Amino acid sequence: MPNLFQIISGVFVVSLFGVLSVKKKAVDKTGLIAGFAVGLSVWILGGWQWFLIILVFHLIAAQFTKYKYELKRSRGAAEEKGGARAWYNVFANGGIAMLLAILEGYGKFGGDVFFAGFLGAISTATADTLATEIGLLNPGNPRLIVNLKKKVEPGTSGGITPLGEFATFTGALIIGLVAFLLQVAGFLDVNWGMKVLFISVVAGFLGCTFDSILGATVQAVYRCQVCGKITEKRIHCGQKTKHIRGYELIENNTVNFISTALGALIAMLLYLNI
C-alpha cells in the first residue's frame, strides 16, 4: 500500500507538471484531469523512476507537436487546437501505462514484468508520436505500409516515410536509454540495463509498426468536402467529412490504445523469455 509521503509528494510533483502543461497548452482541461490520474497512479504505484519515464514521453510529445506546427497545419495534418491534448488522447497513450502501474502496485507477481510492459507501452507511444510529428516533415509523399508501391498524401493513416521510420526508432531508443540509465544507476546492474534497453527498442518499434498497419487497414479515413484533403477527423474545415475507408468506430485514439497494449504485451513476453 502507498504511504502518506508517496501520496503527498505525488500530488505535489504531478500538480506542478500539470500546471506547466496547461500553461504550455500541451493539454486542455479534460487532458489535465486525465493526465493527473495517469501521473499520480504511475508515481504512487510504480515509483518515481516510472514517473520520470512517462514524463520524458510527455515532454517529447508536447515539444514535437509544436515543432514546425504551421508547416504541418498547412499540410492539413497537424493536431487540432494547437496540439492541446484532451482526456481521450491522454488515455489512448497513457491508459495502458496507468493500468500496468496499478497492477504493479496491487498485483501479486514477482519480478519486473509489469515494469517491462510499462516500458513497452511508453516506448510505443513515444515512437508513434515522434513518427507522426517528424514523419510529416518528410519531403516526399509517404507510402502505405501494407502496400509500399502505393504513395499517399502526407498525414494519411498508415503512411510511412524514411524520416518517420527513423523517428520511430529514435523514439523507442530514447525511452530505452532513459530506462537503461535509471536502472543501471539504481541497481548498478549493466546486464539488466541492457535488457530494458533491448525490450524498449524492440517493443516500441513493433508496437508503432502495428499502429501503422491498423492505420492502413481498419482505421476510419475521411475526405474533407471543402479542401479535399485525406484526414482521420470527422470534421475538417468546419464541415463534416466523407467516410472513404476503414471502420467508423475505429479512430486514431482507438488505434493508439490497441498499439500501446500490444507494445506492452511484446515487452512482457520478451522479459519472460530472454
- Binding-site ranges for Zn ion (CB under 5 A): 224, 226-227, 236-237
Q: Which C-beta is closer to Zn ion: that of 16 or that of 226?
A: 226
Pick between residue 16 and residue 227 the one whose CB is nearest to Zn ion: 227
Closer of 33 and 153 to Zn ion (Cβ): 153
The Cα–Cα gap between 33 and 132 comes to: 25
Please name the amino acid found at residue 227: C
* Min dist. Cβ of residue 239 to Zn ion (A): 7
Q: How far apart are CA 190 and CA 180, in angstroms?
A: 8
Sign, Cα dihedral of 264, 266, 269, 274? negative
Nearer to Zn ion, 69 or 198 (CB): 69
Question: Whose Cβ is closer to Zn ion: residue 13's or residue 153's?
Answer: 153
**C-beta of 242: minimal distance to Zn ion in Å?**
11
* Residue for grid cell 494547437: 82
Shortest Å, Cβ 224 to Zn ion: 3
Q: Nearest approach, Cβ of 82 to Zn ion (angstroms)?
A: 17
Residue 140 Ramachandran class (φ > 0 left, ψ -120 to 50 alpha, else beta): beta
Smallest distance, Å, CB 228 to Zn ion? Answer: 7
CA dihedral of residues 62, 68, 74, 75 (deg, nearest 10): -80
Nearer to Zn ion, 224 or 264 (CB): 224
Residue 229 C-beta: closest distance to Zn ion, Å: 5
Q: Which is nearer to Zn ion, 120 or 154 (CB)?
A: 154
Report the alpha-carbon distance of residue 92 to residue 124 in Å, rounded: 12
Element of type H or E holding 115: helix 113-135
Exposed / middle / buried, residue 148 (Cβ in 10 Å: 0-12, 13-18, 19+): exposed
State the minimum distance, in angstroms, from the CB of residue 69 to Zn ion. Answer: 17
| Cβ-Cβ contacts under 8 Å for 224 (sequence gap 6 or more) | 76, 230, 231, 236, 237, 239, 241
Which candidate, 16, 228, 264, 244, places its Cα nearest to that of 116?
Answer: 264
